[in-house]
Structure 1
Amino acid sequence: MHGYVKVFVWGFEGTAAGFGQMGIPLANVAGPFVGLLELLGGLALIAGLATRWISIPLAVTMLVAIVQVHLPKGFFNPEGIEFPLMLLASTVGLALAGGGALAADNLIAARRSAAPAKPAAAPRAAHA
């Protein structure tokens, strides 16, 4: 949801401006990058695609958000670290454990392992 807002509601310019006001370095690059990462990465997590790989950069963005923005505002919501810390823990957990049995990654892997193997080529006779 946060990625949708960053990309389609605020837009890249608005997101970059907001990141700049929060003191995020390279806001013109970080804002659009994080918006797309949260939008596309969130969709990938919902589908269970590349769960471990997508979770790592999402965890990094949460860590940066906690340190740069939320930590000075205390623990509790609405602006403290409580919710971002939960998102960080969730993404770290997904990075370590993967997406689970119904994740698209596992369904794709199961389909690949169930595919019939190609027959091996017949050995060539040696020429004398």
Structure 2
Amino acid sequence: MNKQEIGTFLLRIMLGATFFMHGLSKFQGGLDNISGWFQSIGIPGFMAYVVATIELAGGLALIAGLGTRVISVLLVFIMAGAIIYVKLPAGFMGNEEGTGFEMDLVLMVIALHLVLNGSRLMSLDSKLPTNKKGQDSKSIAS
């Protein structure tokens, strides 16, 4: 175990907890309300259900370390959408009309880090059998 693995583990846990809480708040606030708001900004209403589910279930999956790279790719797309469709007009730090996209960008970069590097420390992914390149040929040879 090295410092990079520990750092990536901490990023995975915090990203998972953050998205879990955001997904939970969408469900608690009423997905019909979120769906209506999505429609008001030009996004199909059903996407509220998709986003909320990815945030809630994906957050839990990240905390557990299950499907880290796949979930993180989905979160990169969600954050890109949030920046482009909602936060970009307010700028990086925000203005009197709304908050900026600095936090969304940080979350997106953390998710991108997990896409590129994975996070196997204390993860369910590390317990699953994997088919690494060359492993089959070694098994057959022995």
TM range (shorter): 0.7 to 0.9
2:52 aligned partner: 35
Pair 1:100–1:24, CA change in 2 (3 A): farther
1:55 aligned partner: 72
CA drift of 1:50 comes to 0.3
Distance in 1 of aligned mates of 2:120 and 2:34: 33
Higher Rg of the two aligned structures? 1
- In structure 2, list runs of 5 or more residues that go unmatched: 1-20, 131-142
Distance in 2 of aligned mates of 1:50 and 1:24: 30
Runs of 4+ in structure 1 off by over 4 angstroms are none
1:20-49 alpha-carbon deviations (Å, 9 max, x no partner): 23x1421x2111110011000011011100
1:79 aligned partner: 99
Distance in 2 of aligned mates of 1:56 and 1:11: 26
The one-letter amino acid paired with 1:76 is M
CA drift of 1:59 comes to 0.7
**Cα RMSD after superposing both structures:** 1.9
2:114 aligned partner: 94
- In structure 1, list runs of 5 or more residues that go unmatched: 111-128
CA drift of 1:93 comes to 0.7
SS of 1:103 mapped into structure 2: coil
Aligned length: 108
Pair 1:24–1:46, CA change in 2 (3 A): farther
SS of 1:40 mapped into structure 2: helix
The one-letter amino acid paired with 2:38 is F
Higher normalized contact order (CA 8 Å, seq sep 6+, divided by chain length): 2
Normalising by structure 1, we get a TM-score of 0.77
CA drift of 1:67 comes to 0.7
The one-letter amino acid paired with 2:85 is Q
Residue 69, structure 1, aligned to residue 95, structure 2 = no
1:15 aligned partner: 34
Distance in 2 of aligned mates of 1:100 and 1:76: 34
Normalising by structure 2, we get a TM-score of 0.70
CA drift of 1:95 comes to 0.9
